[in-house]
Amino acid sequence: MLQQTPAARVVGPWRAFLDLYPTPEALAAAPLSAVLTAWRGLGYHRRARDLQRAAAVIVEGHGGRVPEAVEALRALPGVGEYTARAVAAFAFGARVAVVDTNVARVLARAVAGRPLAPREAREEAAALLGRRDPRRFNQAMIDLGARHCAARPRCGGCPLERVCAWRAAGGDDPAPASAHVTRPQAPFTGSDRQWRGRALERLRGGPATVREMHRHLTGLEPARRRRVLEGLVGDGLVTRTREGFALGRP
């Protein structure tokens, strides 16, 4: 939820979502249309779909309890390496290093002083973790990357300033070419993401005919309008009905 949205904006909708779906059973049993409606304000809608699919696997395959092992978490729909490790480390205290874009910048700049391949980044993080408290270590690394070693580093006051490999060596910033460092996203305004959100917002109010949907997406050229709607259908977020479109699955 926090990838494209400030945390302060997500807290309220996330708590409301948890009130509605406090357990994997509750989420798995809900209609997708209701889940997508409750997801309002929580970012990428595919994640709501994936979270519900993961909840179904947790109910059917894990007795309703979120699995603790990274491999089992990794096997859940929509869960990648980062999320699996973050859940294992933060929720269960597992001794695993978490490498997100913040941590990856710190590793490339402060530790290696050069761009790192995916495996190298994970190995560097694991070596640093050692016997430290995994929750505190991972949180500290993420905070360091977010507060100091940001895309534009703020080295003044950084606790690693005196030992940072890149500060000592100089040269090109190694972070942008390093694994797990995400590139800046295209602006949201005018993007397909914005139009997808707009289409879903209309369908939260009930099914719509093709004409109504096209009218709702006025301003979007016809080929792009079709692409946005077909993309939502292809992602399983919207169903094509005889008259037009409806939220969720039939």
* 184 vs 187 by CB, closer to ligand SF4: 184
Scanning 31-39, 91-99, 164-172, 235-243 for contacts with ligand SF4 by CB under 6 A, the matching segment is 164-172
Rounded to 5°, angle at Cα 108 from 106 and 110: 55
d(CA 155, CA 149): 7
Choice from 9, 47, 74, 167 touching ligand SF4 (CB under 6 A)? 167
d(CA 38, CA 181): 31
Q: What is the largest CA-CA distance in the chain?
A: 66
DSSP class of residue 150 equals: S
Signed CA dihedral, 190, 180, 66, 235: sign only: positive
Scanning 10-18, 93-101, 155-163, 200-208 for contacts with ligand SF4 by CB under 6 A, the matching segment is 155-163
155 belongs to the binding site for ligand SF4 (CB under 6 A): yes
Q: Total residues at the site for ligand SF4 (CB under 6 A)? A: 14
24 belongs to the binding site for ligand SF4 (CB under 6 A): no
144 close to 102: Cβ distance less than 8 angstroms: yes
Choice from 49, 85, 109, 202 touching ligand SF4 (CB under 6 A)? 109
Residues at the interface with ligand SF4 (CB under 6 A): 106, 109-110, 148-149, 153-155, 158, 160-161, 164, 166-167
